[in-house]
Chain A
Amino acid sequence: MTDDIKAVFEQTLPETEPPPRWDTGRYLEAGRTRRRRRHIAAAGTGTFAVVAAALAVAIPLSVPGADVATPGDDTPEPSASTTLPTQYPPAPADWDEYTEIVSGLIAEQFPELLVQDLSEVFELAETGEAWTDDPDAAMEIPHTAELWFETAEGEPAGSLSVRLFEPGPWTDEISEEWLHYPDPFGGPLVGCWSGSYEVQQEDSGVVKTMHTETTCDEATTSDGDRMVTVESRQFYEGEPVQSIRKTVVVYRADDTAVMLATHCGNDDEDEESGRCYESPVDVAALAAIAQDLPAIIVTDDGR
């Protein structure tokens, strides 16, 4: 009987199928592009991009702050190799080892979030390379790692990003504007903007008002470094919260900086694209990790 029904389905297939429009190489290229865009969205700020996706490509009518930083922007030459002081935990020799250390720190803080697979999930990537597919660009962008949390039941539980900033022209000021991406080539790494702007949905023309509520705080780490915490929520007027982000930045005495941020999972593995899975992680836990992160690795080849 099953075979008979299978034959029914077989009858619906034409004798000749149109060839696939994309080959494997094209899929690889498209996947890399999507990943780059996700990096932008995950960078903070990019919560707008996530919301836009949920709105079937919304168009901002007026967005405060600067444009999204792109690799094509005017960027200074990479800084020369830097030797770091030994004030902080020593840096391991390679990224895999570094990843293990960071994974261990995360596992200590969040043992309930599927930590048994953390070392496999956590992937330390050099964003510069991911953006441009050019290994030489590695030094031009902060080193970034992304981790998507899951509960023991496999439910999304937000995500965590780690960003490592080499000494550069960025500042430790807190911007009063909306920052689309922490810019290592100048300006502040975090913003503390609250306010509203309008977004128009492309296909319906409906205009909605997006509200952003941000609170910032400052503290001093046990090493005496300045630490800034930022919590931000975004929502359309009259609608549930669309985006939640918690960020901790530690500005170190060696002119490097580390940033840890949780954000909505925007888990787009299914039709729930754009949904905000609030992370159970709080800023105190983020701060505990940030203070213990080993120094970043800076060598002649950017690693």
Chain B
Amino acid sequence: MRPSHETEYCEFVAANLIPLRRFAYLVCGDWHRAEDAVQTVLTKLYVDWHRTVRRDPQAYVRRMVVNALHDVHRRSWFRRERPAETLPDTAYDRAEATEDRLVLLDALAKLPVRRRATLVLRFWEDRSIEDTARIMGCSETTVKSQTARGLHTLRDLLPNSMTERIEVIPT
């Protein structure tokens, strides 16, 4: 890689590492898996930087992260190792806010990765339907249906006090 490309790459990593990790966490709900996915993606990105830089790197890496997380979900070892019934014991505060958080995480974990990613892109990152479709590599119609189904699932899983926020489907 040319020195100028390496400089660009380093600047990109420095500026995007934290937001990208956060995005991955919201899609998978696990810091370790989020970190693994981001490590995989950013390392691959170095090799393909000369191509990526001509595209929209921000959108491109998000698609890679979703694909990486999606790929992990399909692997058998993940299915074997994933805690199925209860969340692991943690040092979380059991205050009400944290209880809400655990409920939310549990509900989001029941969404398929790509549907969850669609919700994160649309509502956490405030991306348009067109942007989201481009990142996810699908049609705008698919984004709309994924959004509607994702919100519908969340409404079914969350208690009433929390679903009030997502009563209306903004697609």
**Of the candidates B46, B48, B104, which one forms a contact with A12 in the assembled complex, judged by CB atoms under 8 Å apart?**
B104
Binary contact readout A180-219 vs B (1 if CB under 8 angstroms, 0 otherwise) = 0000000000000000000000010000000000000000
User: In this assembly, does A282 line the interface, its C-beta being within 8 Å of a C-beta of chain B?
Assistant: no
- Interface residue B54 (Cβ < 8 Å from any Cβ of A): yes
A251 within 8 A of B: no
Give the total of B residues in contact with A, Cβ under 8 Å: 57
**Does the CB pair B1–A35 fall under 8 Å?**
yes
Set of chain B residues within 8 Å of A38, measured between Cβ atoms: 47
Residue B168 is within 8 A (CB to CB) of chain A in the complex: yes
Known: A24-B10, A271-B71. A203 touches B63 (CB 8 A): no
Answer yes or no: A284 CB below 8 A from chain B CBs. no
- Closest CB in chain B relative to A15 CB, distance in Å: 9
Question: Which of A2-10, A78-86, A171-179, A289-297 lines the interface with chain B?
Answer: A2-10
B-side contacts of A120, CB under 8 Å: 50, 54
Q: In the complex the two chains form, what is the Cα distance from A58 to B132 in whole Å?
A: 36
Contact in complex: B31, A17 (CB < 8 Å): yes
B49 nearest CB across to chain A (Å): 8
Number of interface residues of A (CB under 8 A): 40
Main SS class of interface, A: helix
Is there an interface contact between B165 and A4, defined as CB atoms closer than 8 Å? yes
What is the 8 Å Cβ interface bit string for chain A, positions 157-172, against chain B (1 contact, 0 not)?
0000000000000000
Residues of chain A with a CB closer than 8 A to B2's CB: 123
A31 at the A/B interface (Cβ < 8 Å)? yes
Q: Which residues in chain A, 84-139, are within 8 Å of chain B measured between CB atoms?
A: 117, 120-121, 123, 125
Report B-chain residues with C-beta under 8 Å of the C-beta of A238: none
Instruction: Report the bound CA distance from A156 to B29 in whole Å.
Output: 32
A285 partner residues in chain B, CB cutoff 8 A: none
B111 at the interface (CB under 8 A from A): no
- Near A by CB (< 8 A), chain B positions 53-81 give 54, 63-64, 67-68, 70-71, 75-77
Q: Which of B2-48 contact A (CB under 8 A)?
A: 2, 6, 9-10, 13-14, 17-18, 21-22, 25-26, 29, 31, 35, 39, 42-48
Contact residues in A for B44 (Cβ distance below 8 Å): 34, 268-269
**Total number of residue pairs linking A and B with CB closer than 8 Å:** 125
B9/A22 in contact, CB under 8 A: no
Return the chain B residue nearest A12 by Cβ.
B104
Chain B residues with Cβ under 8 A from A8's Cβ? 104, 123, 154, 162, 165-166
Q: Which residues of A contact B21 (CB under 8 A)?
A: 17, 20
Are the C-beta atoms of B46 and A32 separated by less than 8 Å?
Answer: yes
Residues of chain A lying within 8 A (CB to CB) of residue B47? 31, 34-35, 38, 268
A269 to B51: give the CA distance in the assembly, Å. 10
From residue B168, how far is it (CB to closest CB) to chain A in Å? 5
Provide the residues of chain B in CB contact with A271, threshold 8 Å: 67-68, 70-71
Beta-carbon contact of B97 and A11 below 8 Å: yes
Taking a contact as CB atoms under 8 Å apart, the answer to whether A5 and B166 are in contact is: yes
Closest approach, in angstroms, between the C-beta of A112 and any C-beta of chain B?
Answer: 18
Residues of chain A touching chain B, judged by Cβ–Cβ distance below 8 Å, are 1-2, 4-14, 17-18, 20-22, 24, 27-28, 30-32, 34-35, 38, 56, 117, 120-121, 123, 125, 148, 150, 203, 268-271
